Amino acid sequence: MSGFSSQEICPICGKPMTAYSDYKPFDSVFGECLNCGFTYYTKVEQLSLEELNERRKEEGLKPLTQKHLDRFKDAIKGI
């Protein structure tokens, strides 16, 4: 088993809430409060080409093409 559950205090209402954390295939978290409905989770998505190339520019990397990015779309959606 790669993850674990715990009880935490909800930052909204102060009541106990359930939290779960896992590290396979990457770090992810989930939590929900059954008193006020607060929830959080790790969201998996792919940056747009514009967002990715802006970040690459900030890091001094060359821009990529949409064709390059499309090669990874299905793998990211499958997570």
What does the pLDDT look like over 41-61, one tens digit per residue?
Answer: 999 999 999 999 999 999 999
- Please say whether the beta carbons of 35 and 10 come within 8 A: yes
Res 1: pLDDT: 58
Angle at CA of residue 36, ends 26 and 40, nearest 5°:
15
Q: Is the pTM of this model over 0.85?
A: no
The tens-digit pLDDT sequence of the chain (79 residues) is: 578 999 999 999 999 999 999 998 889 999 999 999 999 999 999 999 999 999 999 999 999 999 999 999 999 988 8
SS3 label, residue 11? coil
